[in-house]
Amino acid sequence: MTGVINHFRGSRRRKKGNQMIVKVDGVDSKEKAEGIVGKSVSWTTPGKEKKVIKGKVTQPHGNKGCVKVHFEKGMPGQSLGKEVKVE
């Protein structure tokens, strides 16, 4: 499966650098989002060195099928709007 990183998780003034909100393709309800909790997520950096940053789906976010993903380290701002792999 693939998904798109929507935004950092956080409040109006503080953002969590290693937690992201991801919209997964084919998941359009809270019940379907609960079914992918625990799956691993990976994002590949652009450029010469193709580093992979891995994360894990922790819980659903909202009622439209978005999920919260906790990555192993902080994500750069260039990751917003990019695709991730959900296995």
pLDDT tens digits for 26-35? Answer: 999 999 999 9
User: In the chain, what are the domain boundaries?
Assistant: 2-86
Query: ∠ at Cα 37 (55, 20), nearest 5°?
Result: 45
Average pLDDT of the chain is 94
Q: Is the pLDDT of residue 59 over 90?
A: yes
DSSP assignment string, 49-85: S--EEEEEEEEEETTTTEEEEEESSPPPGGGTT-EEE
Superfamily name with CATH number, domain 2-86: translation elongation factor selb, chain A, domain 4 (2.40.10.190)
Q: What is the pLDDT of residue 15?
A: 83
Total residue count of the chain as it appears in this document: 87
pTM for the model: 0.89
pLDDT at 14: 86
Confidence category of residue 63, pLDDT binned at 50, 70, 90: very high
